Amino acid sequence: MMQLICRDTELLPDARDIARRYGFELVRNGAETGPYFLQYGFDGLELCPADNPKASVRVDFAAGANDHRRRFGGGKGQDIARAVGVRSYCPSVLDATAGLGRDSFVLASLGCQVLACERHPVVAALLEDGLRRGACVAEVAEIIGRIRFHYGNARELLLSGREYPDVIYLDPMFDHDPRQKAAVKKDMQAFRDVVGQDEDSDALFLTALDHVRCRVAVKRARNAEPLAGLSPVLSLKGKANRFDVYVLAKVAPPEA
């Protein structure tokens, strides 16, 4: 069981709540038992490698890469915006593989209403914590206000019939070669170690095609096979990634 360390008495009630909802073991002090542990402090929730707690992963929408991408990311001209079909109409998007919320944040900053769905307890807890803190920062509060968060399996959510978004966005974990570890940034390595592979992304993709109004957009490694072997209508290739787009209808407001 993942350990959640909280050393500040004042924060214990919140830490207890996080531990209960996500199934972590709450501990007051050190004694890490696995290669990773979670730490909750006044700066929020962090995932820390036990052998290097300073190389931690935390979701911060108001600083670092998220902030840089919000200000200089290229707006509606960037590939993710074109893949999702953001123009004058901003579609509602189910980000079915929300991860640390970077893509959800980009889409929300373009004006989309985003439902960010994440099933992994550690990743979901980090994302929820980042959204909670971001909602208190003036520069990004409005953007965060466009993101709803759902902890659970996106395929089950779609099959429940509770959501029927304009667009479904998928970014499942890429197959990765363990020999390439050295080339991966430390935070991404921690993320990959904890989450592992998404072996069921074909099933999620096929379900998405049946539960969406306008299109499904899939982020893939540049040379990866398309999901479920289905050729996309459109493919936007970047340096490392590409976006496969499966069009069902024009991205436009629903008819009244």
Ligand X SMILES: C[S@@+](CC[C@H](N)C(=O)[O-])C[C@H]1O[C@@H](n2cnc3c(N)ncnc32)[C@H](O)[C@@H]1O
| Residue numbers at the binding site for ligand X (CB under 6 A) | 96-103, 117-120, 123, 153-155, 171-173, 195, 198, 204
Specify which residues 57 forms β-bridges with: 47
Q: Which residue is nearest to ligand X (CB)?
A: 99
Helix (H, G, I), strand (E, B), or coil: what is residue 18? helix
Segments of the chain assigned E as strands: 3-5, 25-27, 36-41, 44-49, 93-95, 114-118, 147-151, 167-170, 215-221, 234-237, 241-247
Nearer to ligand X among residue 118 and residue 244 (C-beta): 118
Nearer to ligand X among residue 153 and residue 235 (C-beta): 153
Least spacing, CB of residue 59 vs ligand X, in Å: 9
Least spacing, CB of residue 66 vs ligand X, in Å: 9
Report d(CA 95, CA 98) in Å as an integer: 5
Nearer to ligand X among residue 100 and residue 140 (C-beta): 100
Q: In this structure, are residues 151 and 131 in contact, taking their beta carbons and an 8 Å threshold?
A: no
Least spacing, CB of residue 249 vs ligand X, in Å: 24
Q: In this structure, are residues 61 and 127 in contact, taking their beta carbons and an 8 Å threshold?
A: no
Least spacing, CB of residue 58 vs ligand X, in Å: 13
Nearer to ligand X among residue 6 and residue 105 (C-beta): 105
